[in-house]
Homo-oligomer: A and B are copies of this chain.
Amino acid sequence: MKKKITIKLKQNDYKMTEQRETVLEVMLKNRGKHLSAEEVLEKARKKSPGIGIATVYRTLEKLTEMEVLYKTVFEGGKFRYELYDDAGSKQQHHHHHIICLKCGKITEVQEDLLSGLEQKIESQGFKIIDHDLKFFGYCPNCK
């Protein structure tokens, strides 16, 4: 995985630096979590104490372009990043999220069930590349 991404970087004339490796490791170690740039910074400093917030933003952005990370807005209007389900290989679709309106917990839903709807939309002349589906409600604890 890490090796695959290093190769991808080189193909695009990007260098593999200590900081980029650290950010990547943070994301790999936190699969299933949805981290803000500040949270990534905090974790990255454990390994690379000197790393700056600008580098974290730049690296997250680059990994998002490369489709290693998925970037989206949850509540609070700031971006959060997570590993793509199948980071490294050609990416198609993304799992869904349930956000608890009381405790803020984020639960992932793996079932897709959108292909029917996507087919209907494509039959009207669109080409669908990806989707982003969030459910808002209450988790079992807060219901």
Which residues of A does B touch, CB under 8 Å?
73, 77, 79, 96, 98, 101, 107, 109, 111, 113-114, 116-118, 120-121, 124-140, 143
Given contacts A125-B139, A131-B134, 9 further A-B contacts (CB under 8 A): A96-B117, A107-B126, A125-B143, A127-B137, A129-B136, A129-B137, A129-B138, A130-B135, A132-B136
* Distance between A102 CB and nearest chain B CB, rounded to angstroms: 10
Q: Which residues of B contact A128 (CB under 8 A)?
A: 98, 135-137
Contacting A117 at CB < 8 Å: which of B79, B113, B127, B138?
A: B113
A113 to B88, alpha carbons, bound, how many Å?
Answer: 31
Residue of B nearest to A96 (CB): B117
